[in-house]
Structure 1
Amino acid sequence: MSTFTLKRQWFITSRVHDIKSEYIFIEELGKGTFGKVFKAMHKESNLERAIKVIIKPNISEYATFITELGILKTLDHPNIVNIIETFETENLCFLVLELCSGGDLLDRIVKNKSFSEQGAAQIMKTLFSAIWYCHRNNICHLDLKPENCVYFSNDPNSDIKLIDFGLSIVASEEDILHDVRGTPYYIAPEVLSKNYNNKADCWSLGVIMYMLLTGVFPFNGRNNQEILMSVYNGSYSFRHPNFKYVSEAAKDLISKLLVKDVGRRLSAEQAFNHEWIQGLNPAIAPSLPMEYINNIVKFVNSRNMKKAAMMYIASKLTEQELHELRDIFKEIDANGDGFINSDELQRAIISSHTIPQQRLDFIVSGVDFNQNGMIDYIEFITACLKKQHYSNLGLIKSAFRHFDRDGSGFITPDELKQAMCCNEMNAEIDARVERMILEADTNDDGKIDYAEFLALLSVQSLHSFT
C-alpha cells in the first residue's frame, strides 16, 4: 500500500471574510482576559460552536491568541478542546471551537463542596492523560486550574475538556523555562523562581486534586502576595476534616505532586499510573464492536479522496455525535497516552473477532495517516465513522468548499494540492493528487464537481451546490 498522508491541521482553515455569513451568534457565554466568548450556530450544518473573539490591536493579547491557535492545531486528544476554524478581519480574530456547555470544574467544586474519591480519581485520570499527551508533544500548559477544565454538558457524568492554551509554551522535558506564567493559587513554586520545566503542570494538578477532595485551596493568603508566598514555601497540611475519610493512597499521590523538589515530583505519566488512580478507575477490557471493525476495514480499502473528505467531516463533528467513539477510543487506549498502538487495537479486536497479525498490521498502517506509528484520535474517529456521521449535507458542502479553493464549483488538482498542504514541486505528490482526482472524476473532465463529490461519499441529494 502506497504511503498516503493526512493531518488534522490541514482542515483547520483560516478565513478572511465576514464570519456572520456562516455563523449565527446566539448569546454571550462569558468574558475573559483576551476577549468575549459566544455561543453560535453554523448556518449550513446547524451545529453549535463556541466562538472566542480576540481584539487584534492589543499586541500582547493577540500574540497570546496566536500561541493558543498554533498549539490547538497540533493537539488531538479526546479531552482537549477541538478547534474548528478561524476567521480574521482587520481588527478582530474569531477562534471557532467545539461548544462545551456544562460549565467548568470550579462551578462543580463550589456546588458539590467536594468530590468522592471515586469521582475525584476519575477526573484526575482524565487530566493526567491529557497533560501526559501535551508533554509528549512538548507542550507545557502553565495555566491548569478548574476554570480551564470544562464539561461538555450538564450531565453529571459528562466528560471534561481542557481549554485555554494562551499561556502555554512549546518545550521538551529537557527545556528549562524562565517566564513567570500562571494563576497564583495553582502556580508551581519553581515558576516563581523562573527556573522550571513541564513538571510545573503536575504541581497544578496536585492543587486541583487537593481541591476536589476538600473544596479548599492548599495554599492561601489574604492577597496575591501572601498566596504566592505560601506557594513558594510549599507548606500545606492534611488537617482539613475531609482528610479523615480520605485514603492514604490519595494523600500519597498529593504529596508526590505538591513536592518542591522537582526531581522527586511525579510526571503526568507516573501520576496516571499511580495506585490511587488505577485502583479506583481500573482499565476496562476494551471491545471494538464488529460494526466499527467493518467500517475500519472498508475505510482502509477506500479511495484516498474519500478518506480526505471523511477526515475533514470527522474534524467538524460535535462531541454529542462522537461520544460513543470517544468512549471506545479511551477504553482501547489502555495506557492513557492519547494514542492507540498496534497491541491495544489487537486486544480490542480479538475480544470480538479474530484477525491475522498481517491483516491487523495492514489496518493499523492504513489508519495511521500521519505516519507516526500509532493511531491518533482523529484517525480512529475518521476510520470508524458511520454513514449517518458523514451524511450532514451542510458539512459535506463545507468539505467541498475546503477543496474548491476558488469557489468555482470544481476541485482541480492545484486546489487539491493547496488543501492538502503540499504546494511544493514534487512529481510524486503531483501523481498522487492526479490519482485522487481520477478516483472521483467520473466524467473525465480532469476535475471533481459537487455531484461527483457526493457520489464519492455515496450520498444522494436532491439539493444542488450553491
Structure 2
Amino acid sequence: MGACLSATKVSGGSSGNTTAHHRKTATNAEKQSQKPNNQQVRCSQPLKNKQKPEKQSGIIPWGKRTDFGYDKDFDQRYTIGKLLGHGQFGYTYVAIDKVNGDRVAVKKIDKNKMILPIAVEDVKREVKILKALKGHENVVQFYNAFEDDSYVYIVMELCEGGELLDRILAKKDSRYSEKDAAVVVRQMLKVAAECHLHGLVHRDMKPENFLFKSTRPDSPLKATDFGLSDFIKPGKRFRDIVGSAYYVAPEVLKRRSGPESDVWSIGVITYILLCGKRPFWDKTEDGIFKEVLKNKPDFRRKPWPTISDDAKDFLKKMLVKDPRARLTAAQALSHQWVREGGNASDIPVDISILSNLRQFVKYSRLKQFALRALASTLNEEEIADLRDQFDAIDVDKSGSISLEEMRQVNISIVCLTSIRLHKTSLFLSLIGWFQCRPLLKIFLGS
C-alpha cells in the first residue's frame, strides 16, 4: 500500500553496518523476492546479490554451510498448520505449540535460498532485532528461533486482528474520530521510540507493517516487519536508500538518514489517517520524490478546515524537511494532540475522509495485484539474469547505479542482452531501469 520507488525500496549498503512478521512475508532476504507482493521493488540489493539456482553454480549456499546457533528441536515443539503466505526464500505458517496448544506464527526460511553471506546476515540481524524489542506491547513478540539442516524457523506471536486501514474502514456506523487516529499514532511512536532507544532505525514505517493482535476493539497495534531495520551508531548516517515512496523522508533521498526518518514516515501516516490522502503525491516516482524534497503538505483544502488546530500543529512538527528541527519520537509522544488523555477530538470526522481512505486502499491493492501478476512470470533463472545485468553496471558494487556508471554503460547492450528473456521479463527489466532514472536525477541533481 504505497508507491514503489513504484512503491519503491531501493537500497545499497548501510553506513558502517552491513551485517548490522509475521505479516505474509519472510526475512529481509525473503523480501528481496517479495517486493512486488508489497508493491516494492528493491532496485539494488536483489539485483546485486547473484542468487543463482544452486544447480547452476554447484556451490553450497551459505545458509547450508552456516550453524546459526539456534535450537534444533522445532519439530518436537511445534506442529505446522495453515500457510499464511510465501516468497521465494520461505513460507509463513500458523503453528501449534505442542506443550500449551497456543497458536503462533512461524517463518520458515529455506537455507538453500541463502546463496550469499548477506542473506545469512539478514536472518541473523532480524532475529537480533526481534530479541532486542522483545516485551514491548506494540511489537510482535518473538518466542524463539530454531534451525535444522534445511531451514531456519522464527517463531513469533500470531496477529489475527487485520491491517490498520482495514480496521478503520470496518468501524461500525462509520464512527471514526481524531481520537481514534491519535491512539493509533501514539502506538506507532512508541515503537519508534523503543527502536531508537536500542540504536535501531525501523526504516519502513507504513500502515501495512502494523497489524492488530486480535479483533477485539481494545486490541493493541503491533509492528510486524523489521526486515529493513538496522542498527546505527550515534552520529552516523545511513547512505542507502530504503523505504516506500509515499513514506520516505527527504534525508533518505539525500543519503543522510537516521532515526529521524521514522518520525517523518509516521507523520505521513498520520496525514493519511486524518484526511485519507497522501501529503506528497504524483503520477510518477520522480514526481513523488520532487514533492517530498521541495513542497509542503496542504492543510487548506477539504477536509482540513474540519480538522483541529492541534492535529495540524502536530503534523507540521512531524513533517519538517530538516531532520534536526523535527520532533523526536519521544518528543512527539508528549504533544497535546497525541498523548494519552490528550485533547484529540472524539467527534466523528467528515464522511469524505473515510471515502478518501477507501479509495486509497483500493488503489494501493490494485497496484499490488498488478505487480504481483507481473512478478509471477519470472523464474529463478530469469531473476538471476537480471541480477547479473545490474551487477555488470554496478562497477563499484555499491548497490546502486551512479551517474558515472550510467554514462559508461551502453544501454543498448543491456537491452539486447535482455531480449533473450520472456517478453514480460524484458518489460520488467525496462521498468526497473527507468525506475532508476528518476532516482538518479534526484540523488545526483542531474
Both proteins in one fold, TM over 0.5: yes
Contact 1:207 1:217 (8 Å CA) reproduced: yes
- Measured against aligned partners, the alpha-carbon deviations of 1:20-51 in whole angstroms (never above 9, x if no partner) come to 33222221223468643211111121011011
1:117 maps to 2:178: yes
Question: What is the DSSP-based 3-state SS (H/G/I as helix, E as strand, rest coil) of the residue aligned with 1:275?
Answer: coil
Contact 1:109 1:215 (8 Å CA) reproduced: no
Q: Of the candidates 98, 107, 116, which is equivalent to residue 43 of structure 1? A: 98
Contact 1:173 1:197 (8 Å CA) reproduced: no
Change (3 A) 1:114 1:179: farther
Corresponding position of 2:374:
none
Could you tell me how far apart the structure 1 residues matched to 2:341 and 2:178 are?
A: 8
* Percent identical: 35
Corresponding position of 1:154:
215
Could you tell me how far apart the structure 1 residues matched to 2:202 and 2:257 are?
A: 13
Could you tell me how far apart the structure 1 residues matched to 2:131 and 2:267 are?
A: 27
1:78 maps to 2:137: yes
Opposite residue 66 of structure 1, the aligned amino acid is K
Corresponding position of 2:72:
16
Q: In the TM superposition, what is the alpha-carbon distance from 1:123 to its structure 2 partner? A: 1.1
* Structure 1 residue ranges, 4+ long, deviating more than 6 angstroms after superposition: none
The equivalences for 1:275-294 within 5 A come to 275-278=336-339, 280-281=341-342
Corresponding position of 2:391:
none
Q: In the TM superposition, what is the alpha-carbon distance from 1:61 to its structure 2 partner? A: 4.3
Corresponding position of 2:125:
67
Corresponding position of 1:235:
296
Corresponding position of 2:444:
none
- Measured against aligned partners, the alpha-carbon deviations of 1:384-439 in whole angstroms (never above 9, x if no partner) come to xxxxxxxxxxxxxxxxxxxxxxxxxxxxxxxxxxxxxxxxxxxxxxxxxxxxxxxx
Could you tell me how far apart the structure 2 residues matched to 1:262 and 1:33 are?
A: 36
Q: In the TM superposition, what is the alpha-carbon distance from 1:204 to its structure 2 partner? A: 0.5
1:94 maps to 2:149: no
Could you tell me how far apart the structure 1 residues matched to 2:96 and 2:258 are?
A: 40
Change (3 A) 1:147 1:153: same
Corresponding position of 1:307:
none
Q: In the TM superposition, what is the alpha-carbon distance from 1:100 to its structure 2 partner? A: 0.9
The equivalences for 1:261-340 within 5 A come to 261-278=322-339, 280-281=341-342
Corresponding position of 2:165:
106
Contact 1:50 1:98 (8 Å CA) reproduced: yes
Opposite residue 233 of structure 1, the aligned amino acid is K
What RMSD, in angstroms, separates the aligned Cα atoms of the two structures? Answer: 2.4
Change (3 A) 1:79 1:34: farther
Q: In the TM superposition, what is the alpha-carbon distance from 1:280 to its structure 2 partner? A: 4.7
1:226 maps to 2:281: no
Opposite residue 71 of structure 2, the aligned amino acid is R
Q: In the TM superposition, what is the alpha-carbon distance from 1:261 to its structure 2 partner? A: 0.9
Opposite residue 130 of structure 2, the aligned amino acid is L
Question: What is the DSSP-based 3-state SS (H/G/I as helix, E as strand, rest coil) of the residue aligned with 1:93?
Answer: strand
Corresponding position of 1:195:
256
Question: Normalising by structure 1, what TM-score?
Answer: 0.54
- Measured against aligned partners, the alpha-carbon deviations of 1:96-147 in whole angstroms (never above 9, x if no partner) come to 0011111121323454689411011111111212211211111111011111
Could you tell me how far apart the structure 2 residues matched to 1:254 and 1:35 are?
A: 39
Change (3 A) 1:66 1:234: farther
1:29 maps to 2:87: no
Corresponding position of 2:412:
none
- Measured against aligned partners, the alpha-carbon deviations of 1:340-383 in whole angstroms (never above 9, x if no partner) come to xxxxxxxxxxxxxxxxxxxxxxxxxxxxxxxxxxxxxxxxxxxx
Could you tell me how far apart the structure 1 residues matched to 2:341 and 2:305 are?
A: 18
Could you tell me how far apart the structure 2 residues matched to 1:111 and 1:96 are?
A: 29
Opposite residue 68 of structure 1, the aligned amino acid is E
Opposite residue 122 of structure 2, the aligned amino acid is T
Q: Of the candidates 199, 203, 206, which is equivalent to residue 145 of structure 1? A: 206
Corresponding position of 1:447:
none
Contact 1:29 1:38 (8 Å CA) reproduced: yes
1:251 maps to 2:251: no
Could you tell me how far apart the structure 1 residues matched to 2:175 and 2:258 are?
A: 30
Change (3 A) 1:61 1:147: farther
Q: In the TM superposition, what is the alpha-carbon distance from 1:281 to its structure 2 partner? A: 3.9
Corresponding position of 1:435:
none
Change (3 A) 1:144 1:32: farther
Contact 1:143 1:182 (8 Å CA) reproduced: yes
Q: In the TM superposition, what is the alpha-carbon distance from 1:178 to its structure 2 partner? A: 1.1
Could you tell me how far apart the structure 1 residues matched to 2:188 and 2:242 are?
A: 20
Change (3 A) 1:35 1:250: farther
Contact 2:133 2:195 (8 Å CA) reproduced: yes
Q: Tell me how many residue pairs correspond in the alignment.
A: 270
Change (3 A) 1:90 1:185: farther
Change (3 A) 1:114 1:224: farther
Could you tell me how far apart the structure 2 residues matched to 1:254 and 1:114 are?
A: 22
Opposite residue 99 of structure 2, the aligned amino acid is E
Corresponding position of 2:247:
186
Could you tell me how far apart the structure 1 residues matched to 2:329 and 2:224 are?
A: 17
Corresponding position of 1:442:
none
Could you tell me how far apart the structure 2 residues matched to 1:231 and 1:68 are?
A: 29
Contact 2:137 2:220 (8 Å CA) reproduced: no
